[in-house]
Structure 1
Amino acid sequence: MQELTSCESPSGDVAALVRCADLLTGWGNAALGRNASRIVRAGLPHLLWPAPDPAVLLLGHFDTVWPVGTLAEWPVTVHDGVARGPGVFDMKAGIVQMLTAAELAAGVDRVSVVLTCDEETGSRTSRDLIEEEARQAGAVLVCEPSADGGAVKVARKGCAGYQLRVTGRAAHAGLEPELGVNAAVELAHQVLELEHLASPAEGTTVTPTVLAAGTTANTVPESAVMQVDVRGWTREELDRVDATIRQVAPRLPGAAVRVDGGVNRYPLEAEMAQPLLEVLRLAAQDVGLPAPDAVRSGGGSDGNLTAGIGVPTLDGLGAVGEHPHARTEWVDVRAMPDRAALLAAMIDRICTAGDDDARVARMR
C-alpha cells in the first residue's frame, strides 16, 4: 500500500499513469496468474485481466485527484494502524485489498479485473471497456472506498453536468448601455430558474457551480457561461431534469442561450445491489465477520455505469477510512486483512457453480 500510494498517478498525467500501470501490471499478473491487457485510449493506460469464462468483475481505478509533487509535502505514513497520504483511501488501499483477495480466493479463473485511470474525470475513455466487461461477467464488485465504519454502498446518485452559454450584445456601459444585451443579466435569470428544477423531496439537486461573464469593466457583457451540477437518486429524475433544462428560453430580447452536456452516469439504484448484498451477508458468515452495513451515497463511481446497464453491482468494498479527496484522508490498515478476506469469500460464492446465491448474483 505504501509503495502504490507513493507512485503518484493524477488523472490526465500520462507519464505518471504509465508508471503506476507498470507497477500494477506486475502485481496483477502475479495475483491472477495471467497477463494484463493494456488498453490505451487517448494515451491513457487502462488495465484489463480478462477471465476466459467470467462470473464476476472486480472494478477499480488508480488515478487520483492529487498532482505530482504532492507526495513531497505530504508523504505516505503509517502510524498506530492509520495510513495517510495522497490517494491512500481513494483508492490505492482498495486496489491492494482487491489483488490480495484474488490471491486468497479458491480460484480466479472466472474473475476479470479492470483498473482504469480516468474515473476521477468521468471515465470518458474507459466507459465502454467497463460496460463490456460487466456485461460478460454478470456481477460487479467495486473496490471504491467504503462508507463510514466500513459500510458498503448499495445506491449512488446519478450525475449530470451542463454548460449554459449566453450570447448577448456588447455596448459601452457608460455611453449607450441601452444598445447592448447584457449576457450577465440573462445568466442571472437562468440561475434563478434552475431553482425550480431541483426536487428536495426526491433528493434531486441542481447546483450552479462555475459562472463567468464579461470582458472589461466598462463594457456590457456579450457572453456569459455557467456550469451546472445535477445529482439524483433515480433515472427518472435525471431524465426529467435533462429534458427540462434543454428547453430553457432567454428572458431578455436579443439574448440567446445554448445548453451543452447531459447525463454522465445514471444512478446505482438499490435493486441492482440487492442480489450481491445477500451474497455479502453469506460471505461474512463464511469468514466469521459481521456483515457490513449498507448505505446510500451521494457521490458517483464506475459502479453507476455497470448498474446503469442492468448488471448487479455492489460498491464500497474497498478500504475502511474517511475523507476522500481531502488532505485528511486516511485508511485503517488493521481492517485491510478482513476486508480482503470478505471480498475473497464473495468471489468464491459467486464463482461456485450451482450455489443459489451465485445464480442470483449472475443475473443477466
Structure 2
Amino acid sequence: MARKLVAGAVMALAGLGASAQTPDAALLKRAEQVKPEALKLLGRMVNIDSGTFSEKGLNAVGALASAELKKLGFKVETFSAAPAAGKNIVATLNGKGKGRVLLVAHMDTVYADGTAKANPFRIEGSRAYGPGIMDDKGGIVVALYALKLLKESGFRDFARITVLLNTNEETGSHGSRELIEKTVKEHDVALNLEPGRAADGVVIARKGSGEIGMEVQGKAAHAGVAAKQGVNAAMEAAHQVIQLSELGNEEKGTTVNWTVLKSGDRSNVIPDLATAQADIRVSVPEEFDRVEQDIARISSKQLIKDAKVSIHLRRGFPPMPQSPVTDALAAKANEIYGELGRKLTLESTGGAADASLMFAAGVPTLDGLGIVGGGIHTPGEYAEIESIPPRVYLLARLIQEAGKGLQLPR
C-alpha cells in the first residue's frame, strides 16, 4: 500500500521537476564553490568515531559542529542525553521574519570505536567513503553549508532557525525524545537531514520501529553427565524464536526479524540463561498492540515447562504515514529542485528516524534532505560528491521559503 501511495505522489508531482523557474544564481554559484570546503569538514567528522555509545567521539563531533554554528551567529546550548551518551546540541538564530524552521540531524553512527582508523575517509572517483559519511554526518555538513550560504547572502527573513543535533538516533532517540518533541512544537516546519535516497529522493513516509527482548532462565547442569537435571535455556529460547518468527504481517507492512541470540559459553554445560532480540517495523501504530498481544499468547506455549520466559516489546519511533501536508512540503521542495532542472523522487522506507517524532507532534515534516549516497550501515557506506552543491542549494532555498512562511494544509 505504501508503494502505491508514494507512486501516486510521484505522478502528481512529476511536472514540478521540469519547472522552468530561474535558480538563484548567486546562491547556486556559492553552493558549487563550497564543495571542496564541505568535503574537508565532512572528512574531519567521518574520521571521528562517534558510535551511539562513544561519549568521547560524540562530544568531539558536537564540538566541531558547535564551532561552525557559532561562526554563523547561532547561540549554542547542550543538553544531557542520559541515559544515552554525549550531549545533544540545540543552536538557535533569530531573524526578522515570521517562519520558525527546525533542522534536525544526528551525530551518532552504528560503528564501533576503531572503525574510522580502519576505514578512514577517502575519495575514489565521484564518491567519498567512510563510516557515517551519509548517515548522518553528510546531513550535518549539508545543514552547516546551507546556513553559511544564507548568512553570506544576508538572508534574515525568518523568525527563528534552530539546529538540533541528536546523539542517539541509531538506538531510537530514547535520550533525546523529550527534547525533540518539545523543540519541534516551537516551530512551523521541520526538515530532517537523514540521507537523501540513492535515486536523488526525499522521504515522505517511514515505518515505526521497536525491539522485542527475550530472556529465558533455566538451570545449569553437566551436559554429558547430568543433562536431564538441567533446564536448557538455549533450547527454550530457540523454540520461542521459531514460533514467534511468524509475528509479521506482510499485508499490513509489519516485519519482525530476530537478529541477536546469546546463550552459554561452554559446550559441556547446559546453559541457564539465554537472551534474544528482534527488530520490529510497522506501518500503522495499532500493529504494535497486535504484536504485543500475540507475543503473550504464543510465548505461553513452552517447549521446556520449567524454563522461565520473559518477553517484552519496546516501542521506538512511531510510523510516519504519507499525508497531504508532507506531500505539499515535498511539492515545494520539488519546485525548488526544478530550478536546477532536477526532480526529486518521493520515497517510503522501512527505516525509522526522528522525522516520525516530529510528524507525530503535528508539525509539517520533510525527511531525507541530506547528502545522497548508499551502503548505509555497511563498510562500503558512501556519498555522491556531486550531490553536495544541489543538496546545499535545495536546503538553503527551503529554509528561505519556510522562513517567509509556507501555506501548508494542516
Structure 1 length normalisation: TM-score? 0.89
RMSD of aligned Cα (Å): 2.4
Tell me the number of residue pairs that the alignment of Structure 1 and Structure 2 aligns: 356
Q: How does 1:92-171 map to 2 (within 5 A)?
A: 92-105=137-150, 106-107=155-156, 108-171=158-221
Matched, 1:30 2:71: yes
Deviation track 1:130-188 (CA, whole Å, cap 9, x = no partner) reads: 11111111321111111112111111221111211112334444445444433222222
The amino acid across from 1:49 in the alignment is: A
**1:271-310 equivalences in 2 (<5 Å):** 271=323, 273-285=326-338, 287-310=339-362
What pairs up with 1:1-364 in 2 under 5 angstroms? Answer: 1-7=39-45, 8-11=48-51, 12-31=53-72, 33-42=73-82, 44-50=86-92, 55-105=100-150, 106-107=155-156, 108-214=158-264, 216-247=266-297, 248-251=299-302, 252-271=304-323, 273-285=326-338, 287-353=339-405, 358-360=406-408, 363=410
Rounded to whole Å, the distance in 2 between the matches of 1:250 and 1:175 is: 29
- 1:216 Cα shift? 4.0
CA contact (8 A) 2:90 2:165 kept: yes
The answer as to whether partners of 2:81 and 2:167 remain within 8 angstroms in 1 is no
Q: Which runs of 5+ in 1 are unaligned?
A: none
Deviation, 1:15, is 2.0
5+ long unaligned stretches in structure 2 = 1-38
How far apart in 2 are the matches of 1:325 and 1:288?
30
Q: Distance in 1 between matches of 2:358 and 2:319?
A: 10
Q: What letter corresponds to residue 274 of structure 1 in structure 2?
A: D
* Residue 278 of structure 1: how far off its partner (Å): 2.4
CA 1:154–1:71 in 2, change beyond 3 Å: closer, same or farther?
same
Instruction: Measure the CA separation in 2 of the matches of 1:46 and 1:194.
Output: 37
Q: CA deviation at 1:202?
A: 2.1
Cα 1:164–1:47 shift into 2, 3 Å: same
Aligned residues with identical type, % of pairs: 32
1:42-85 deviation per Cα after TM superposition (whole angstroms, max 9, x unaligned) = 45121111355762211101222334443434332335442222
Separation in 2, partners of 1:277, 1:133: 22
Asked if structure 2 preserves the Cα contact closer than 8 Å seen for 1:321 and 1:332, the reply is: yes
* Runs of 4+ more than 4 Å apart: 51-54
3-state SS of paired residue (1:310): coil
- Say if 1:54 and 1:136, in contact at 8 Å, map to a contact too: no
- Partners of 1:46 and 1:205 lie apart in 2 by 31
Q: Per the alignment, in what secondary structure is the counterpart of residue 36 of structure 1? A: strand
125 and 182 in structure 1: CA distance in 2 versus 1, 3 angstrom threshold: same
Q: Give the AA of the match of 2:90.
A: L
**What is the one-letter code of the residue matched to 1:276?**
L
Could you tell me how far 1:316 is from its partner in structure 2?
0.8
User: Which residue identity is paired with 2:312?
Assistant: D
Aligned partner of residue 75 in structure 2, secondary structure: coil
Distance 1:174 1:159, change over 3 A: same
**Contact persistence 1:58–1:143 (CA under 8 A):** yes
| Distance 1:115-1:289 versus aligned 2 partners, 3 A rule | farther
Taking a change above 3 Å as real, the CA distance of residues 155 and 217 of structure 1, as seen in their structure-2 partners, is same
* Equivalent position amino acid for 1:137 in 2: H
Letter in structure 1 aligned against 2:117: A
TM-superposed deviation, 1:215: 5.2
Taking structure 2 as the reference length, what is the TM-score of the superposition?
Answer: 0.79
Cα distance in structure 1, aligned partners of 2:131 and 2:58: 15
Letter in 2 for 1:18: N
Structure 2 CA distance for partners of 1:164 and 1:73, relative to 1, 3 Å: closer
